[in-house]
Chains A and B, each alone.
Chain A
Amino acid sequence: MTQKNRLAEGGRIDRAKPVSFRFDGASYSGFEGDTLASALLANNVHLVSRSFKYHRPRGILTAGAEEPNALVQLRQGARTEPNMRAPQIELFGGLVAESQNRWPSLEFDIGAINNRLSRLIPSGFYYKTFMWPASLWMTYERVIRNAAGLGRGPTEPDPDRYDHRNAWCDVLVAGAGPAGLMAALAAGRSGARVIVADEQSEMGGSLLSDTGEIDGKPPAEWVADALAELAAMPEVTVLPRTTVAGYYDHNFLTMLERVADHLPQPPQNTPRERFWQVRAKQVVLATGAIERPLTFIDNDRPGVMLAGAVRSYANRYAVLPGRKVVVFTNNDSAYHTAIDLAGAGAHVAIVDLRKAPRGAVIDAARAAGIEILDNHAITAVHGAKRVTGISVRNLDESGRGVTGPTRSMACDLVAMSGGWNPTVHLFSQSRGKLRFDDALAAFVPDKSFAAERSVGACKGSMQLAECLKDGALAGAAAARDAGFEAKKVPAIPKVASGTEGAMLPVWVVPSGQKLGRGGKHFIDFQNDVTAADLHLAHREGYVSVEHLKRYTTTGMGTDQGKTSNVTALAILAELQQAPIPAVGTTTFRPPYTPVTFGAIAGRNIGPFMDPARLTAMHDWHVAHGAKFEDVGQWKRPWYYPKGNESMHDAVNREVLATRSSVGMLDASTLGKIDIQGPDSARFLDMIYTNAWSKLPVGACRYGLMLREDGMVFDDGVTTRIAENRFLMTTTTGGAARVLGWLEEWLQTEWPEMKVYCTSVTEQWATIAINGPYARHVLGALTDDDKLGPKDFPFMTMREMTVAGAPARVYRISFTGELAFEVNVPRRHGHAVWEAVWQAGQKFGITPYGTETMHVLRAEKGFIIVGQDTDGTVTPMDLGLDWIVARKKGDFIGRRSFARPDTSREDRKQLVGLLTEDPHAVLTEGAQIVQETRPRPPMKMIGYVTSAYHSPVAGRSIALALVARGRDRIGDTLWVPRLDGGQPIKVTVTEPVFYDKEGVRARG
């Protein structure tokens, strides 16, 4: 197809590089430098989508991020993306796009029936219709979900890489139009670290569509010179295709860099997109302004476009979207469009809502032979899938109605301008306060909150000369505030100065008919909200703008109402007969334009989603077929199946081997803290519930740590290594928390205590040898012959050489068996583990994992903090009164024991449970009741904390927290099942199921 609307010359496209692409199955061609929107317009394709609710035919409205209509499904397969804005899609060879929200085709869309039925689906339709009966909500929801949304999400995994980047800078400049470029130049020349980001592929902003001269040069040439200067500054980072998306606390900003979105696919290892997190000392916002549509009847017809966008298509892309053009405006800016289009060969007429506008640009339009109908309004738009003409009438005296005869004009393009809204999104996100500017009839920045400056159009400076000056001053000032003195403010480039006539705010253009009759005045194009909808909501009593927004869905599309919010607010203000600022503003939430989940995730996927912590023996575990369990970030061996062994069988085997012979466990993950200093024992007296001062050197003691509320917080064995030195162990998951807890008390409460704490968790690899033959295995690996119970009693530590490595060996036991926990420097962990394994072969040594560890300890009734406790459990609840030294004086949590709640008699207490059916293993977390009923509610008196099959008991065992549990020993209770089966009958027992006297561990 030929590019019928392409001008013969001009534009910033590369005519030497034709690019072919497909839209809705048809092939077209454009040029490198085109966007999908400009290329479609070049091919005279205006109809590009169907609207959300009424399925009205829609065309390209804008030339930028604010586009509410031309949202397409871009690419296919795994790379497909919905709701992509055609004016922001750079054209590349082989691009495939499809229109959305139509069936069976864009030309013939069944859903368009909604337009005919629009009286039946007013604003709030869903709220009004789908409320009752509540039982049907599930059905309604399915219907609504089917009707909702525009495009389709991909169903295959994303094949592309995404990445992140942290950055710091002195000055971040958001936007590289005339103001932003001047700011970047001014700041850059001071030597400050500057990042200048612009969402477009080419920097220059409005200058790329502008005519005229800057410093005697065409604007684009001035832009090129500025960019060359910036590129030569080593501390300046220039980021095109980068949207500053969010502005957060303390000048933290996020940016989305579309590294490879303009390519058919990213080169290998190149991220498709990069998500920047920037901390800027100073920020200059130069984000421009967004043109407002005029709210006239059927203003949504394909071929009705924003005037600035039309100018951009003509000048920047050399595309004339129509040959016979009506420019409809309430301000001077659209006259530039009219003049440029006329210059490009279009027939142009201007319909101006203002009465007798005056000024240089109006004279210039007249001189170009353009007919100007002042004090006129468009009262009808003809054509459905493309505008074919309009009707105009004179405005009446009040300006709120029309009068006189109707004149029809044929046209194929309407270029409208309702004024400009400064793009205050980032400013507002930074907590800056807005004020309403009556001259612009728009919100502009008022008081900054953050270290930020707005410049150019986003501040309300609509003249080029002002923009350049704003930028230069703000850039230099920002650098200065960041600590860089610019030698001097750069000379402000010379441009032809112009003055603009006043604009005339007309929020709803009268059509001579009752609002809502004869056509629709669209406010929010993306969500199909009309002026009539706002009137209805007002009549129904919606006062707050936030309610109105949600009720009508104004501004709630993916465009966040960039073209609609201020107009909606103004209409509401008119209805309430209040000034616009009194009605309020809507909240501008980040991101400015949508950010992909891929970019947010970056490389935090797969193995990089969360670090995997590995012990020194990890490779051995892998080589021996271990299944792993995640414990915090640690990968711990869970069990070691042999052949096709099930987990149940493997655990049974591991338990029995450990009980009858010897087993070995990688216990390296337990937290270890070296505690030194003359006040160490005194400190431990405060931290633990029991007393430490009299613990002999070389002895170990179990300790419980409480929070100040008296609840168990962590536990572990601590050993006195020397008079003033202890080695504390913590739970695996509690290691960092406990070190932080110790530091908290030392730094914030008792700075006078002479104690230093150092984490040594990772210094040591820990091999726990458990079982009747543990001493035999250890004996085979050390020359130390004093391993007997007299020389090396239970709960002591000895230093010795084990398998050629310096070791601390602790005689402590978490299984109830004779046990030695061998600690060697991590580097030797693998070799010593292997040596233990070899030495244990003749005893059938069995490596076991965390599951077996759990069974072994549960058989002994040893608790696991966090499993058998949940932050509401005292030592007394656990039956560990013996570890609370009430006489030693104060310790953390002690006072809380006397609180009425903590000393209540009906507290939950740790007990054992034995099921009537020995094979039934209870579900951990299951509730316990005294009396069963056919269905809930039943009074719940406790819950199961641990439940396993115990191989030595030959039956199931469980630990539970039960109200007044110890009084209930011998009682029968019930555990209802989630699956609705018969409740399980249990008997309450002591929480120890094996070797109650504890002789085995002491042997």
Chain B
Amino acid sequence: MAKSTQAAAHSPLANRIGPDGNPVALTERAHLGKINLRGDAGDKAFLDGVARAAGVAPPVKANTVATAGTTAILWLGPDEWLVVTPAGGQGAMESSLTTALAGQHVSIVDVTDARTTIRISGPRARDTVAKACPLDLHPREFAAGQCAQTLLAKTDVLIHQVGDTPAYDLYVLCSFSRYLWDWLADSAKEFA
């Protein structure tokens, strides 16, 4: 039975249906590939190696995102990044990073399943999030292409603004994801 066949995969939000239109939409971007990458941002060999493997060097500027095609590298800390690939891409990314960075002191850890991603978009998306997020989300301070680790409604999130409408990808630990989804849906009710 289950021995030989691939085990079924479940995303934590598969059973959640959120507000789906104006002024706020919620969707789960399930199973995006995610690699937690640690290395020395001051080491050219490291930056070059990552660029070879991922198509783009990790951003050195705090709280920014570098993208190449479908791959995005999100700044998490001065020596830490999250490499995001389309669903299923994490295995290939992990091996190409491992190859490209062989011999260097780095850490390449597949954390694909640790977090899921909630996409929140629409004209009131910012207001929905800002109710309980200590970050300044004003476009002058936080715009598309920027990311930040912060708190949202008492949960740790990595927030990545992906569009000006605005749209945000919220990376949240799976265990918190239903709570956060429900909180966001409730927060958006006011604007419906």
Contact = CB atoms under 8 A, between A and B. Distances in A.
Interface of A: 161, 163-168, 193, 269-271, 279, 602-603, 607-608, 610-616, 619, 634, 674, 676-678, 754, 756, 758-764, 780-783, 801, 803-805, 824-832, 835, 838-839
Contacts of B132: 164, 166, 602-603
B175 A168 contact: no
Contacts of B163: none
Interface string B1-17: 11111111111100100
B16 to A, nearest CB: 12
Contacts of B107: 674, 676-677, 756, 758
B112 A825 contact: yes
Contacts of B125: none
B181 to A, nearest CB: 11
Contact of A611 (B36, B155, B187): B155
Nearest to B177: A614
B9 A828 contact: yes
Contact of B190 (A163, A167, A619): A163
A826 B175 CA distance: 10
Nearest to A782: B3
B61 interface: no
B6 to A, nearest CB: 5
Given A164-B132, A168-B138, A826-B174, A758 B3 contact: no
The main secondary structure of chain B at its interface with chain A is loop
Select the residue from A161, A167, A168, A759 with max chain B CB neighbours within 10 A.
A168
B112 A830 contact: no
B8 A831 contact: yes
Contact of A608 (B6, B15, B79, B153): B153
A830 B3 contact: no
Q: Which 7 A-B pairs have the closest CB atoms?
A: A756-B107, A613-B175, A804-B7, A805-B7, A826-B113, A803-B2, A762-B114
A271 B2 contact: no
Select the residue from B4, B31, B36, B132 with max chain A CB neighbours within 10 A.
B132
Contacts of A603: 131-132, 183, 186-187
A614 B175 contact: yes
A266 to B, nearest CB: 10
B3 A783 contact: yes
Contact of A762 (B38, B141, B175): B175
B7 A828 contact: yes
Contacts of A803: 2-3, 7
Nearest to B179: A611
A620 B187 CA distance: 28
A832 B3 contact: no
Contact of A835 (B7, B106, B113, B179): B7
29 contacts: A166-B130, A166-B131, A166-B133, A269-B190, A279-B136, A603-B186, A607-B182, A608-B186, A613-B175, A613-B179, A614-B12, A616-B12, A634-B175, A674-B109, A676-B38, A676-B107, A676-B109, A758-B111, A762-B175, A763-B111, A763-B112, A783-B4, A804-B2, A804-B6, A824-B7, A828-B8, A829-B10, A831-B2, A831-B8
Interface in B47-84: 79
B45 to A, nearest CB: 15
B187 to A, nearest CB: 7
A678 B107 CA distance: 11
A804 B3 contact: yes
A838 B3 CA distance: 12
Given A163-B131, A167-B130, 6 more contacts: A165-B130, A168-B136, A611-B180, A677-B105, A758-B36, A826-B113
A255 B1 CA distance: 61
Interface in B122-138: 130-134, 136, 138
A289 B5 CA distance: 77
Contacts of B134: 166
A832 B7 contact: yes
A187 to B, nearest CB: 15
A827 B113 contact: yes
Contact of B178 (A610, A614, A762): A614
Given A611-B154, A614-B12, A761 B114 contact: yes
A756 B134 CA distance: 28
Contacts of A607: 179, 182
Contacts of A167: 130
A167 B154 CA distance: 17
Nearest to B5: A804
Contacts of B154: 610-611
B155 A762 contact: no
Contact of A168 (B5, B141, B179, B189): B141
Select the residue from B7, B10, B113, B153 with max chain A CB neighbours within 10 A.
B7
Contacts of B5: 804
Select the residue from A163, A165, A166 with max chain B CB neighbours within 10 A.
A166
A903 to B, nearest CB: 39
B119 interface: no
Contacts of A754: 105
Contact of A164 (B12, B110, B131): B131
A270 B38 CA distance: 45
B115 interface: yes
Interface string B151-192: 001110000000000000000011110111011001101101
Select the residue from A614, A756, A783, A804 with max chain B CB neighbours within 10 A.
A756
Interface in B96-118: 105-107, 109-115
A910 B10 CA distance: 44
B160 to A, nearest CB: 18
B189 to A, nearest CB: 4
A570 to B, nearest CB: 43
Given A167-B130, A762-B174, A803-B7, A781 B110 contact: no
Nearest to B183: A608
A764 B110 CA distance: 11
Contacts of B190: 161, 163, 269-271
Contacts of B175: 613-615, 634, 762
Given A827-B31, A831-B10, A760 B111 contact: yes
A754 B130 CA distance: 38
B9 A831 contact: yes
Contacts of A166: 130-134
Contacts of A763: 109-114
B64 to A, nearest CB: 20
Nearest to A259: B190
Contacts of A614: 12, 175, 178
Nearest to B180: A611
A82 B125 CA distance: 37
Contacts of B187: 163, 603
B176 A611 contact: yes
A505 to B, nearest CB: 47
Given A166-B132, A614-B12, A824-B7, A756 B111 contact: no
